């Protein structure tokens, strides 16, 4: 090499594998500096078999849920010495499979996966940790959707709501189902479900839903999502209803603009950053010890109270005390 020293020695000083004479160290380091040498990570990976890259596959980056998650994942991955290869599945299962295969070819050390759909039989040559969804045989980090549902239920009760409308999300989605049933359990016996309608995660509510909203027979509507909560806000306004005076609404997710709509949405916040951090540390642990027992972790969520849900002040239709 240009430092008048062998290649192996260079390797040893850059990695500190073997001790070297100060003089040699200086020479090597200065030559590196001078030539702008950077080790070739491909060659390194090829030789050692230990890849320093992680994959991340998400259904749709533009979902407001993801940016904070991705950021946390990338940051902690890099702090652990890994590089993150990100792939957007475009909500398409086929494209998702391609992504996973491509990552296999790239010999990633592991992948963080947010599956577009539930259930999929697969065996990939790398460890996987799933986030927010669970796949058999994979480590998992999820938010406690059940707790979220319960939190909402208890809050609704505490605010004095006794007749509640429920806009539940896609029935097939486990997280939405968890939310729903925990909520139902929490209010059971204390409040009445005026009606329940399943809606997609969108601000564009089905016609029948906005019709129902126009003449509410409840004091609160609990929404599957912040997106649908925004739809409710809009429908209420169009119907001349004031939120929260005439109608309270509660969302889920705490999207970045939950505080920007009028009134600010009371909602449940998922610990996105923690989810991301723990996902990659879980993955890291599994990479270090492939034989360790399966790890399922569920992180607490928090209720964030804003102005869209308030106590029922004039008793809705005060029948009995």
State how far the Cα of 153 lies from the Cα of 220, in Å rounded to an integer. Answer: 11
* Number of amino acids touching DNA (CB under 7 A): 26
The interface partner of residue 14, options being a second copy, DNA, none and the CB cut-off 5 to 8 Å by kind, is DNA
In this structure, are residues 224 and 201 in contact, taking their beta carbons and an 8 Å threshold? yes
39 scored as a contact of DNA (CB under 7 A): yes
Least Cβ distance, residue 105 to DNA (angstroms) = 8
30 scored as a contact of a second copy (CB under 8 A): no
214 scored as a contact of DNA (CB under 7 A): no
Least Cβ distance, residue 15 to a second copy (angstroms) = 13
Cα–Cα distances in Å, from 296 out to 65, 136, 268? 21, 11, 22
Closer by beta carbon to a second copy, 107 or else 120: 107
State how far the Cα of 81 lies from the Cα of 101, in Å rounded to an integer. Answer: 23
Those residues whose C-beta lies under 8 Å from the C-beta of residue 77, and which sit 6 or more positions away, are 54, 83, 84, 280
Residue 120 region by backbone torsions, left for phi larger than 0, else alpha for psi between -120 and 50, else beta: beta
In 3-state terms, what secondary structure has residue 148?
helix
Cα–Cα distances in Å, from 55 out to 83, 101, 292? 8, 11, 21
204 scored as a contact of a second copy (CB under 8 A): no
313 scored as a contact of DNA (CB under 7 A): no
35 scored as a contact of DNA (CB under 7 A): no
Residue 4 region by backbone torsions, left for phi larger than 0, else alpha for psi between -120 and 50, else beta: left
70 scored as a contact of a second copy (CB under 8 A): yes
In this structure, are residues 84 and 53 in contact, taking their beta carbons and an 8 Å threshold? yes
34 scored as a contact of a second copy (CB under 8 A): no
Residues 47-76, interacting with DNA (CB under 7 A): 47-49
53 scored as a contact of a second copy (CB under 8 A): yes
Least Cβ distance, residue 102 to DNA (angstroms) = 14
Positions in the binding site for a second copy (CB under 8 A): 36, 38-43, 45-46, 51, 53, 60-62, 64, 66-68, 70-71, 74-75, 78, 83-88, 90, 99, 101-102, 104-107, 125, 203, 230, 233, 237, 255-257, 260-262
């Amino acid at each position: 090499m240009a430092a008048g020293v062998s290649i192996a020695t260079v390797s040893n000083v850059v990695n500190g594998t073997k001790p070297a004479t100060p003089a040699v160290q200086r020479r090597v380091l200065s030559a590196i500096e001078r030539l702008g040498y950077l080790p070739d990570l491909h060659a390194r990976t090829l030789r050692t078999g230990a890849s320093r890259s992680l994959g991340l596959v998400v259904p749709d980056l533009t979902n407001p849920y993801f940016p904070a998650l991705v950021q946390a994942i990338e940051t902690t991955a890099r702090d652990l010495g890994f590089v993150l290869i990100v792939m957007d599945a475009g909500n398409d299962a086929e494209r998702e499979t391609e992504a996973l295969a491509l990552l296999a070819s790239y010999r990633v050390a592991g992948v963080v996966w947010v599956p577009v759909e539930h259930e999929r039989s697969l065996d990939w040559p790398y460890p996987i940790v799933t986030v927010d969804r669970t796949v058999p045989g994979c480590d998992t980090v999820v938010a406690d959707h059940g707790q979220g549902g319960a939190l909402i239920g208890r809050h609704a009760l505490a605010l004095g709501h006794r007749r509640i409308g429920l806009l539940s999300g896609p029935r097939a989605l486990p997280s939405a189902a968890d939310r729903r049933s925990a909520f139902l359990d929490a209010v059971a016996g204390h409040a009445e479900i005026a009606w329940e309608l399943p809606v997609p995660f969108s601000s564009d509510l089905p016609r029948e839903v906005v019709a129902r909203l126009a003449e509410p027979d409840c004091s609160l509507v609990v929404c599957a999502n912040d997106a649908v909560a925004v739809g409710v806000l809009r429908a209420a306004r169009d119907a001349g209803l004031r939120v929260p005076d005439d109608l309270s609404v509660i969302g889920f997710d705490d999207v970045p603009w939950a505080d920007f709509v009028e009134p600010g949405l009371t909602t449940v916040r998922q610990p996105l950053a923690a989810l991301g951090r723990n996902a990659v540390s879980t993955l890291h642990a599994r990479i270090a010890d492939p034989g360790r027992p399966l790890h399922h972790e569920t992180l607490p969520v928090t209720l964030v109270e804003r102005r869209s849900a308030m106590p029922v002040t004039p008793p809705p239709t005060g029948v009995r005390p």
